[in-house]
Amino acid sequence: MRSHLCNRCGSCVGLSNGAIIFQDKTGEYRPVIKGQISDKLAEILWEACPGKSFNFPSYREAFYPDTPGFHDFIGPYRQIGIGFAVNPVIRQQGASGGVISAVLIWLLEKKMIDGAVVLGMSKTEPWLTQAFIATTKEQIMEAAQSKYIISSVNDILPEIEKFEGKLAYVGLPGQIQSIRKLQRMKHPSVRNIEYIFGPFYGNTLHFSSVTSFLRSYKASDYREIEKLYFRHGEWPGNMRIEMKGGRVIELKKFHANYLIPFHILRNSLYCTDLTNEFTDLSGGDAWAPVYEERGKGFSMIISRSAKGDEILRKMISEGALQMNAISTQTAIEMHSHGYDFKKRGSFIRIHFRRMLGKAVPDFGYELKGFGFSRYLMEVVISSLFILMGTKVARWTVEKFPPGLIGGIFERTRKIWKKSTYNIKRKEL
Ligand SMILES: Cc1cc2nc3c(=O)[nH]c(=O)nc-3n(C[C@H](O)[C@H](O)[C@H](O)COP(=O)(O)OP(=O)(O)OC[C@H]3O[C@@H](n4cnc5c(N)ncnc54)[C@H](O)[C@@H]3O)c2cc1C
């Protein structure tokens, strides 16, 4: 809980009958023990925690025994493609191609589920996220789009347990790893979960990203936020804040990415799952100039389990989804930057942590054998994360217009990507 291994999935909070709470959601957002925990409950919480360990090979065998495709970077897969929701409203409101929302709506309309666990924005504190069970198309649409601040979907496990009917569940890799652990334990809290979907996951940010963003625009009180969007408008969208009194603050998503090194949740640096490998079906952005130029919204879709694949096939044949298959090599090239960050960088960072005598996660597998230049590159990247995460750096960046910093960030990132192209492509 107190180390950087906690990904804030929320399972310990949800399962603890109020003994553990998230105390400071606009601050460190850490689970804190407030009441008595029996030995039996402690054992369950320890087992359900994905931060310290999650054995990828073992869970793959347990949940995807018949899945024919596997790649170290992508996980188990059946089909990989680029696609989008054919319904233009769903596509437009989704983070990328609206695929996850379209799948949930399709399942609901076919009565294959009675509800979907999704992440919306809080009604009472609209600057924070709130997981809930959506039982209508409108509620699923309301929860569409990516939220880039720390969110703990699994703190609603008691509601999930009480729900009468079948559920689909949407979460980030860490949250899903905990759900898979609970499913394997046959824990009652997850008995209703029939399908698991999720977005790709590069990183998530502390709430300080929002307050810092506001301060850059000379707006100091986050409680004045009426609506907060991370991907508003046409793909790839804008970070947009609507304040009480009518003020609107908006910045291109690619420019708002400048917040990442200043506010990244450290656990994101030790997560080795980019494509949400333990879902039935997962989706990410189709990052390639050919799609980005067209706007509108394109997703990369990966089906993994037999039931996830069947949903994909049926939705395509019924005209609810459009998808063109791509090879694993094309898929890897499209996210080579992300794979380098997660499947090389994370393992090197874990190695550094181990050398410093700190606790490290055990994923049951390790990728290694990277060249000296990649280690050197990681020293630079990790040093930058440490430097830029300091109060002084955060304070300094707030003195400049975000449009300017965002533009510089986008250009620097392009140059950096280009100059490290060979290091990163090696053995991809
Ligand atoms: C924190 C985060 C980091 C990401 N990093 C990358 C990346 O590096 N590369 C990449 O290609 N794609 C990344 N994505 C995925 C991408 O932003 C889109 O979510 C994905 O392409 C699916 O788009 P969609 O239009 O199909 O989803 P939508 O139809 O918009 O549905 C998204 C679903 O995800 C749920 N959701 C949104 N945010 C969260 C959250 N924080 N926790 C749990 N559930 C959530 C929503 O409730 C909704 O049901 C990230 C997403 C998130 C949330």
Computed over every residue of the chain, the mean pLDDT equals 95
Q: Which residue shows structure tokens 């009441």?
A: 35
What is the model's pLDDT at position 423? 58
DSSP H helices, 20-78, are 39-48, 56-63
Give the mutation target among 121, 132, 146 for probing the ligand 1 site: most ligand atoms within 8 A of CB. Answer: 146
In the reported structure, the alpha carbon of residue 146 is separated from the centroid of ligand 1 by a whole-number distance in angstroms of: 4
Calculated CA dihedral for residues 326, 328, 331, 337, nearest 10 degrees: -170
CA-nearest of 332, 274, 281, 291 to 82 is 291
Distance 139 CA to ligand 1 centre (A): 16
Q: Taking 80 as the threshold, does the pLDDT of residue 419 lie above it?
A: no
CB 96 less than 6 A from any atom of ligand 1: yes
**Closest C-alpha among 240, 324, 264, 262 to residue 288:** 324
Query: Relative to the CA of 98, which ligand 1 atom is closest?
Result: 25
Q: Kindly state the average pLDDT of the residues 42-69.
A: 98
Q: Are 196 and 177 in contact (CB under 8 A)?
A: no
pLDDT of residue 413: 74
Q: Does 253 score more than 60 pLDDT?
A: yes
What are the φ and ψ backbone dihedral angles of 135, each rounded to 5 degrees?
-120, 5
The answer to whether the CB of 237 is under 6 A from ligand 1 is no
The residue ranking higher by pLDDT, 294 or 171, is 171
Beta bridge partners of 33: 20
Angle between helices 208-216 and 402-419 (to 10 degrees): 120
Give the per-residue pLDDT at 292.
Answer: 81
Predicted pLDDT at 425: 63
In DSSP notation, 327-371 reads -HHHHHHHTHHHHIIIIIIHHHHHHHHHHTT----B-S-------
pLDDT in tens, 260-279: 999 999 999 999 999 999 99
CA of 369 to the centre of ligand 1 (A): 31
Q: Which pLDDT score is estimated for 118?
A: 99
How would residue 290 be classed by pLDDT, with cut points 50, 70 and 90?
confident
Ligand 1 touching residue 9 (CB < 6 A): no
Ligand 1 atom nearest 286 alpha carbon: 11
Residue type for position 276: N
Q: How deeply is 317 buried, as exposed, middle or buried, from its count of CB atoms within 10 A (0-12, 13-18, 19+)?
A: exposed
pLDDT for residue 376 is more than 60: yes
pLDDT score at 294: 86
